Chains A and B, each alone.
Chain A
Amino acid sequence: MKKIYFLLILLCILCRMEDLAAQDQKVSGRVLSAADGTPVIGASVVVKGTTNGTNTDVDGNYTLSIPSPNATLVISFIGYTTQEVAVNGRTSLNISLKADVQALQEVVVTAFGREQEKRTLGYSVQEVGAAQIAQTQNPNVVNSLQGRVAGVQVLGSGGTPGAGSRIQIRGINSLSPGANNQPLFVIDGIAISNETIAGNQLPSAGSNAVNSAEQFAFTNRAADINPEDVESMTVLKGAAATALYGLRAANGAIIITTKKGRAGATTVTLSSNFGIDNINKTPEVQTRYREGLSGRLRTTSTGAPNRFQTFGPPVAGDDVVYDNFKDFFQTGTRFDNNVSISGGNEKATFHTSLSHYNQEGIVPNSDWARTTVKLGGNVNFSEKFAVNGTVSYSQSGGNKAASGDKGIMSALNYHTTTFDVNDYLNPDGTMKVYSPGVIDNPRYLAENSTLKDDVNRVIGNVGFNYDFKPWLRFNYKIGADVYSDNRNRLVPGPIFQGAPTLDIAAGTGGFLVEERVNYREITSNAFLTAEHSFTEDINASLMIGNSVEGQYSDILNTRGERFTVPLFYHLSNTANVFTSNAISDRRLIGAFFDAKVDYKNYLFLNVTGRNDWTSTLPKKNRSFFYPSVSTSFVFSEPLALSDNRIFNFGKVRASWAKVGKDTQPYRVGTYFGAANGFPFGNRNGFVVSTTLGDPELRPEKTTSIEFGSELHFLASRLIIDATYYRSNSKDQIIPVPTSVTSGITNYTTNAGEIQNTGVELLITGTPVRTSNFNWDVVLNWSTNESEVKSITPAVPEIIFQDDRIMNKLVVGGSAGDLYGRVYQRDAQGRLLIGANGFPTLTPATALVKVGNALPDWQGGITNTITWKGLSLSALLEIRQGGDVYDVSMRNRIRNGIDIRTENRYQQIIFNGVNAAGEPNTIPVILEEGFYRNSGGFNDAADVLLQDASWVRLRNAQLAYTLPTSLTGRTPFKSVRFSLTGTNLFLLTPFEGFDPETPTYGSGSNALGYTGYGIPAVRSYTFGLNVTL
């Protein structure tokens, strides 16, 4: 493999030398815009069939050496139709470029990496290109989709370096809390893993909350991809677009195409970015009261200070009050360096890159680094036979900040304002904390409670194309995605005998988790494509193909507890060792066809079918077939509108598709697993599994319809693309919760239906386009509504997460519905006041619907203004609706930190009515118990749940490309400087940290919880990009 690439590179160099030797004649001229005669700056003028070329200057002028007077020039520029002009002995040649009514011939990547003209498609696809990815300046490629694609919701992951991101297309399609609702990721035609494996990092004993499984913002594995390697990301949203991919793309697909070499001059690109991150938003704290309880400082019976709460005496003269929420976070830094070399000739092309990314987080002692190497190429051995391949290696990892219960944010939000959170170390190295034994110092926690991950990953593929006949093509590709993730979770025990430990080590004397994740995914795809023209007007193509996939993972988790020798952290030094091993093997075979026919290149019909055979369903049900039909009609063509100045292009599209979906491995059958907490002493033990699968389990079926139109106005300067869809997912494979008295707690069976309907809008406009000045606007808007049509008669609800605010589904409800206890009100909405003068809460047993975690609608507006070499681009993201429960806010309230508690000890009369409907007249004092005790203020959804709508300047970039007049004499083809800002402003009614920081990680379906994750950041990045 490597030898081939080495030869490739040599070959390219040789080609260049030939080119150099042949240049002797010159041709010069101007490139002008056909529309208004203004010069086209930076247009590429190349001698056809060679790598010999130049770019036009600010006046549109060019001069080029040509090998022979009969050479042909190829003139191209973005936004214009490429032209070829024969020189025919001329030495002066002016060229007039016609504006490319681009979208008309726009080519997009569809399933299996097939490039198709967008106009032929009967469904919606949207692409994000390299320029937008570069503008995002985020190491996680998933985040470059944020706010840019209608119907796609990307939930960022906050301020932990390397934190995962959750992506979801067109809502939640699954009723099962354990199901994967995220799309399939495909790189260069081969599926890869974007899983977020949370693993198990908890000790066997400690004082963690029961549901604190998510302790770290683990990385979603697409973050291993170097964003600079990505040429484009295409989002396949609906079932018709993904039908060929089969069940794994039931939630949509993200098709990533990496950069390829192009025939022509070898290009070397160097880019270097440096950025800083700061905490984006912090909650307001009360500054009037000190630590203590009942309005006074407290001591224990032995006279030691007894602190923790901040319900003490008023702050007096020289008392210092700290804003620990600001002080705790440091300025994070990011360095990103990238080199890529690409080039080739007509025989062979290559692209190779090397990158290193290094980030220090806003939380001390958190970091993440990634190194990637990639090499890809294509060789045409003959007219008929071509081989291509890509291999990339990445190493990534770092130290993750502890989140979740007993994590940094939990401790920080409890921490009193009268002590400095950064004063955390005693001279003997133990934790200095203002309330020992009750709370951890968050800084000490950050420095000592660590999780390191180290991921080594190779993604590679090799494929070939063989053209049997001009009309018959065969493609084959095989690829592998192999990674290992070595995780090391450490909570030290006493650092000397008798030394206190962190809370989480209290039960175990410290612990060490060594987790080894080994993942392997192999995919083989083969297609045979035939094309035929029946008449001049009727063309057809048929593709048949097959795909074989296997995913295997093996997670070995060994936890050692109770260190014998202090300060030596190795499994051999632990007294109690627990080991578990989870192996998963899942295989899939698919066979499919894709038939297309078009009439006069304006009416298109596309029929596909796929049969899947999956290993995860019972044998008799494991084979299933599903079809799709889509059609596109470019009605402006028969109406001959293309020259119409007002309305020049119109297309309507419609599709219907069915997609099947299987389940996770090992759902069916009775098994005995190792008992929880065993071995007990030296005895092992087994228990019968309490979840059981229906032996008649069938595949899930999602049926979706989609209608859309694409209309171009004013010579395509205004493009409106609208889509309506409705998808119904039936026969859902759900672990139906059952009465535990039956001996099982879940029965996995086919039940239930959820419907998602939505509208997506994409408007592209160019309000101003002159030779020097361009203003482009891209607006996307989408809304999705879901409704649970049925579950199963036996089950009234499916609980996704229960944490004071409950995320559950009921029939007639929507995905993301949140339930809780609210203040009781009478029919007129007046607060009901109890006999004690305080508002009363609805009972804990019949929770009331209080909100929904998913936004009502979301949108993004990207404005790009270019003036000569200067460009300014800004992405404004708007999200309307979407409620979240801030778990950490509850800590702040209970401990008297939050600004809401500043009115303590005041006497007030609650505005409401008593049981008899008379206005309340009972004066009450807002004692600390009002804020501290459960069952009241701090349990009321009225307080806990907040609207997390926002308008944020997600991304803004100012870039300047040096004019060719400056770079012309240097070896640089282009030099570009950029300054990028992320989250430069955030408008939201939400009080607290940035609400875009989930408490649960990117692999979780529990939506609507924030507070225990490290909050999101505002960042500035300076970048330099040089092309040689």
Chain B
Amino acid sequence: MLQLTKKYIQLGLVALLPLASCDSYLDVNDDPNRAKAVSSDALLSPIIVATAEGHYSLAIYTSMFAQQLAAYPSGFQQADQHIDVRANTAFNTLYLNSLNNADVLVKQAAAEGSSHYVGIGKVLQALNLGLLSDTWGAVPFSQAFQGPLELTPAYDSQEQIYTTIQRLLDEALVELQKPTSTVRPGGDDLIYGGKISSWIKAANSLKARYAIHLVEKDGVAAANNALTYLANGISSNLEDMQVVYNDKNLNPWNRNIAIGTTTGNFITAPSSTLINLMNGITYPGLVDPRLPFLADKGTSTANYAGLRNGLGTGGNTNITANTWYAKPNSPLLMVTFSEMKFIEAEARFIANGGTRTSVGSTPEAYAAYLAGINAHMDKLGVANKSEYLNNPQVAVGAENLTLSLIMKEKLIALYLNPEAWVDVRRYDYASAIYPGMALPANHNPALNGQFIRRVLYPESEGARNAEEVAKVTKGLAEKMFWDL
């Protein structure tokens, strides 16, 4: 009865309306500012750029842990002291900007039969997932990206994620090798310009990367796996997986760090650990010609000096637009030929029975080691490579090759790449491998002298997905599953 009365009142009131049709008057809630559907090429470019930005927002932390960088006191100094590290921006960028759109792309491309987009999408999924898992450990994927259907996705274990990465890459290879694709990528592919053969190499390179991560766990088998994948991997600097920025879309290291150093906003600068590996201090007499490409000491006439980790003082170098990495139009390197050569060197060294303390390996391992340095120098455009490459402390010969030499060179070549921290952790921050590597000053007392091994989940994630996060939360010094 009440309902009926209400209805009559409503009807009576409507009768007063001077409008002929109130429905059409009100039907204006379709957003004119956004599209209802977009093509695959429109989706791909932002995923690629987000993947590159994800690398930056991770590396701003991980490069400090790998002691390529150190924080200024006005920067993320607590993180540099291994205190309460969360890297929220990176987590959000990788999930919301990269993986979320990659998920849409893969599904949409599969539905329309654009197998090449499916393949590229899966390679990017694997890369982003690798970044996430190597930073946080267990992360959601199998239940992620369902929107309101699953607002609190469960976390996949890191082991599961590693299986997923290899599966995604295998599936990607199948899709990329299909001869037809309804829509084919072109200029929207900001990495390879639609060159599918390069994507196939990139997929294999990633398979190699995530295989070598398991070398501590699986030993020689992992090394051999990596070598198998490498055979079809990136084979020149021209095939590097990178995003080239431009004068309008500034490289994030330029935009966020280099510009800051010109306006008094000092955030981060090269670490003394890295600089000392290159400036003749740790290796007396060995001065790396790549130094000015990595670090800018401005008008200083003193020797190159880096910031002490955890202290933020003692340096004279910065990441500026004069370095190779932080010009407005610098490329942002994600997976490179030099990384592949160092993976090869390490894999061959281990496959040959090498250990952390053993000396000497095969000529192939030695060649890969030198090729890695050479590739990185070529990449930077170093004019006089030979002096360094022929220095007896570098050109030690196959019989004197050590894992330390390989890994220290890889640390330099992976400057500002989150992958560097994976290596450093695999080798336990050992100063025997990375000479000069030591705990940062004012190190987090709660860690009792243990180095950081993982990053904590963002507070927002802890709050919004509390139950699932609680199941997988681990401490900062607890190791990754591939780390023994």
Contact = CB atoms under 8 A, between A and B. Distances in A.
A and B found bound together: yes
Interface of A: 204-207, 300-302, 308, 435, 437-439, 503, 506-507, 524, 526, 528, 544-546, 548, 561-562, 575-576, 581-583, 585-587, 589, 591-593, 609, 611, 613-616, 622-623, 625, 665-666, 668-673, 675-678, 680-690, 692, 694, 737-745, 747, 794-797, 843-845, 929, 932-935
B259 A207 contact: yes
Contact of B101 (A506, A682, A687, A738): A687
Contact of A613 (B22, B146, B248): B22
Given A582-B33, A672-B37, A685-B46, A741 B461 contact: yes
* Residues of B in contact with A, size category: 35 or more
Contacts of A677: 49, 249
Interface stretch (B149-157, B379-387, B425-433): B149-157
Contact of A672 (B34, B49, B246, B248): B34
Nearest to B260: A207
A816 B100 CA distance: 34
Nearest to B77: A934
A690 B100 contact: yes
Nearest to A562: B247
Given A435-B264, A589-B19, A741-B465, A794 B187 contact: no
14 contacts: A302-B300, A544-B13, A544-B16, A576-B248, A591-B10, A613-B22, A666-B29, A672-B42, A677-B249, A685-B45, A737-B460, A738-B151, A743-B95, A744-B148
A683 B263 CA distance: 31
Interface string B54-85: 00000000000000000001100110000010
A686 B100 CA distance: 12
B276 interface: no
Contacts of B460: 737, 739-740
A585 B144 CA distance: 34
A585 B28 contact: yes
Interface in B125-172: 139-140, 144-148, 150-153
A845 B37 CA distance: 40
Top 10 closest pairs, chain A to chain B, by CB: A438-B264, A591-B13, A671-B34, A675-B46, A666-B31, A739-B465, A685-B46, A743-B145, A685-B45, A576-B248
A301 B300 contact: yes
Interface in B423-465: 459-461, 463-465
Contacts of B484: none
A591 B464 contact: no
Nearest to A580: B33
Given A692-B147, A797-B463, A681 B46 contact: no
A669 B30 contact: yes
Contact of A741 (B38, B139, B316): B139
B100 to A, nearest CB: 4
Nearest to B73: A933
Contacts of A676: 46, 97
A795 B17 contact: no
Contact of A845 (B19, B302, B459): B459
A638 to B, nearest CB: 33
Interface in B18-47: 18-19, 22, 25-38, 42-46
Nearest to A618: B29
Contacts of B359: none
Contacts of A614: 26
Contact of A739 (B17, B22, B42, B461): B461
B96 interface: yes
Nearest to A684: B42
Contact of B27 (A503, A615, A672): A615
Contacts of A308: 264
Given A622-B26, A933-B73, 20 more contacts: A204-B248, A204-B250, A544-B16, A615-B26, A670-B36, A673-B33, A673-B34, A680-B249, A683-B188, A686-B35, A689-B34, A690-B100, A692-B147, A739-B153, A741-B461, A745-B96, A794-B151, A794-B152, A845-B459, A933-B77
B195 interface: no
B461 A611 contact: no
B111 to A, nearest CB: 15
B92 A740 contact: yes
A847 to B, nearest CB: 9
Q: Which of A548, A676, A743, A934 has the most CB of B within 10 A?
A: A743
A809 to B, nearest CB: 13
Contacts of B264: 207, 308, 435, 437-439, 503
A668 B29 contact: yes
A205 B253 CA distance: 11
A439 B31 CA distance: 42
Contacts of B46: 675-676, 678, 680, 685-687
Nearest to B105: A688
B49 A589 contact: no
B204 to A, nearest CB: 26
B464 A589 contact: no
B17 A506 contact: no
A439 B14 CA distance: 63
B31 A669 contact: yes
Given A669-B31, A742-B147, A843-B84, A675 B299 contact: no
B174 interface: no
B262 interface: yes
B357 interface: no
A699 to B, nearest CB: 14
A583 B18 contact: no
Contacts of A794: 151-152, 464
A907 to B, nearest CB: 22
Contacts of B300: 301-302
A932 B33 CA distance: 45
A544 B34 contact: no
A575 B247 CA distance: 9
B179 interface: no
A581 B78 CA distance: 40
B96 A690 contact: yes
Contacts of B95: 740-741, 743
Contacts of A680: 45-46, 49, 190, 246, 249
Nearest to B458: A740
Interface in B314-363: 316
Contacts of B78: 844, 934-935
Contact of A692 (B33, B74, B148): B148
Nearest to B143: A741
B144 A665 contact: no
B210 to A, nearest CB: 21
A739 B150 CA distance: 10
Interface string B252-271: 00110001101111000000
Nearest to A576: B248
B104 interface: yes
A506 B265 CA distance: 12
Contacts of A622: 26
Interface in B90-114: 91-92, 95-97, 100-101, 103-104
A526 B15 CA distance: 12
Given A546-B18, A688-B100, A613 B26 contact: yes
A740 B248 contact: no
Contacts of A301: 298-302, 316
Contact of A686 (B43, B103, B254): B43
B120 to A, nearest CB: 14
Contacts of A668: 29
A269 B33 CA distance: 49
Contacts of B96: 690, 740, 743, 745
Interface string B217-248: 00000000000000000000000000000111
Contacts of B27: 615
A665 B31 contact: yes
A205 B40 CA distance: 28
Contacts of B49: 675, 677-678, 680, 685
Contact of A206 (B17, B33, B259, B298): B259
A131 to B, nearest CB: 39
